[in-house]
């Protein structure tokens, strides 16, 4: 199966709070992690795909992403968001007093939405934003008792979601998650052997599905066809090699799964926006300045 992203948490308090501008290539691919995640969109717009469900988002929207949710994001324009990541153990002691404290995560997609839009119960949504922004402020302060404030704000946020955003459980509300493990395994195969000349038929055969069925299920989960997703993985890998290695463009093309240099240059220009040589100069120029 596709391996989880390793999220490094501080040992003394297993939470991180940060501001993200745009979406890095690492998170434009389908991924999952064991940490729980909360996002507040503070500006701009974009798209999330979570367990095969596509969500357009804009400023003021809040996202809850559970452990093991298979997800990816890509920006529209001028995207900025607050990202909170924390270990479930941070609220485990609360189960004694409130056994349902984790339901907003554990039942996303059925009892609770992954996305809480800015126009849903405006007063409650405003409080969610207030708690998240307070957590951002506290996390980067040096004030005493800041961990207590962070913990308290997190509990208030979860209680607010539980009170105001529970939805009727219907068949339509549940995302189609039956085949997500198969999708994870297919992506792991691609990522572990980018140089291989994968075909749709081969990927479908390994998933024990017809090419058309496999393509439909994969597209639902990833937001693009299997072969387009493979192309994105290869181009992302090529960008990493351009920045981090001294390999020639031809060697990078070959190690990223492109057998034809002119085809690599053409696709790189189309999807990345500039030739590989120009991208290398830009990336290595940034590295030398930092």
Give the number of residues written for the chain: 290
Cα distance between residue 174 and residue 62, in whole Å:
19
Cβ–Cβ under 8 Å, residues 67 and 87: no
Both structure tokens of 32? 């999952």
- The DSSP string of 20-73 is EES--HHHHS-B--SSEEEEEEEEEEEEEEETTEEEEEETT-EEEE-TT--EEE
Domain end call among 164, 193, 216: 164
Same domain, yes or no: 35 and 157: yes
Distance CA 18, CA 84 (A): 7
Q: Please say whether the beta carbons of 235 and 242 come within 8 A.
A: no
- DSSP letter for each residue of 179-222: THHHHHHHHHHHHHTTTS---HHHHHHHTTS-HHHHHHHHHHHH
Q: How confident is the model at residue 98 (pLDDT cuts 50, 70, 90)?
A: confident
Query: Does residue 176 surpass a pLDDT of 50?
Result: no
With a pLDDT cut of 70, the percent of the chain lying above it is: 84
Instruction: Report pLDDT for 25.
Output: 55
Domain-ending residue, one of 104, 130, 164: 164
**pLDDT confidence band for 289 (50 / 70 / 90):** low
Of 109, 7, 19, nearest in space to 64 by CA: 109
Helix (H) or strand (E) holding 264: helix 261-272
Which CATH number belongs to the domain containing residue 206 in this structure? 1.10.10.60
Among 62-71, 130-139, 176-185, 240-249, the minimum mean pLDDT is found in 176-185
Range of the domain at 73: 15-164
Taking the C-alpha atoms of residue 276 and residue 158, their distance in angstroms, rounded to an integer, is 46
pLDDT bracket for residue 96 (50, 70, 90): low
Q: Mean pLDDT across the stretch 17-26?
A: 76
Q: Are residues 247 and 130 in the same domain?
A: no
- Asked if residue 9 is part of any domain, the answer here is no
Structure tokens at 85: 């990541």
Structure-derived torsion over alpha carbons of residues 69, 4, 81, 91, reported in degrees to the nearest 10: 70
Task: Find the mean pLDDT for residues 220-241.
Answer: 84
Q: Do residue 107 and residue 79 come from a single domain?
A: yes
Q: What pLDDT, on a 0 to 100 scale, did the predictor assign at position 1?
A: 41
Residue 95: what pLDDT?
A: 59
Looking at residue 23, its pLDDT comes to 64
Nearest to 264 by CA among 233, 230, 226, 234: 234
Task: Give the pLDDT of residue 170.
Answer: 46
pLDDT band for 239, please (50, 70, 90 cuts).
confident
Tokens 């929207």, residue located = 61
- Report H helices in 90-179: 103-106, 122-139, 146-164
Summarised one tens digit per residue, pLDDT across range 59-78 is 999 999 987 788 888 777 78
149 — pLDDT class (breaks 50, 70, 90): very high
Give the pLDDT of residue 173: 41
* pLDDT reading at 9 higher than 80: no
Q: pTM, whole model, 2 decimals?
A: 0.64
Binned at pLDDT 50, 70 and 90, residue 174 comes out as: very low
Model confidence over 199-227: pLDDT tens digits? 999 999 998 899 999 998 888 777 678 99
Whether residues 151 and 256 share a domain: the answer is no
The answer to whether residues 45 and 156 belong to one domain is yes
Weakest-pLDDT range from 3-17, 20-34, 261-275: 20-34
What is the C-alpha to C-alpha distance for residues 120 and 198, in angstroms, rounded to an integer? 44
Is residue 25 in a domain? yes
């Amino acid at each position: 199966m596709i391996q989880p992203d390793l999220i490094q948490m501080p040992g003394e308090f297993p939470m991180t709070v940060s501001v993200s501008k745009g979406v890095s290539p690492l998170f434009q691919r389908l991924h999952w992690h064991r940490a729980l995640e909360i996002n507040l969109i503070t500006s701009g717009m974009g798209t999330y795909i979570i367990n095969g469900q596509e969500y357009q988002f804009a400023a003021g929207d809040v996202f809850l992403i559970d452990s093991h949710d298979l997800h990816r994001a890509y920006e529209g324009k001028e995207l900025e968001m607050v990202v909170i990541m924390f270990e479930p153990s941070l609220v485990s002691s609360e189960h004694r007093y409130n056994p349902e404290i984790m339901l907003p995560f554990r039942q996303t997609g059925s009892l609770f939405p992954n996305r809480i839009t800015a126009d849903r119960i405006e007063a409650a949504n405003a409080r969610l934003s207030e708690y998240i922004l307070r957590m951002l402020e506290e996390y980067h302060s040096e004030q005493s008792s800041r961990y207590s404030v962070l913990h308290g704000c997190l509990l208030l946020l979860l209680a607010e979601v539980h009170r105001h955003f529970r939805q009727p459980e219907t068949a339509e509300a549940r995302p189609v998650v039956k085949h997500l493990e198969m999708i994870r395994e297919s992506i792991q195969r691609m990522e572990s052997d980018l140089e291989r000349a994968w075909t749709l038929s081969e990927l479908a055969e390994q998933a024990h599905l017809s090419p058309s069925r496999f393509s439909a299920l994969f597209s639902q989960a990833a937001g693009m066809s299997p072969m387009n997703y493979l192309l994105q993985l290869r181009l992302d890998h090529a960008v990493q090699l351009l920045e981090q290695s001294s390999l020639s463009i031809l060697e990078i093309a070959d190690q990223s799964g492109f057998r034809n240099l002119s085809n690599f240059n053409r696709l790189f220009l189309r999807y990345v926006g500039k030739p590989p040589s120009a991208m290398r100069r830009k990336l290595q120029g940034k590295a030398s300045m930092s």
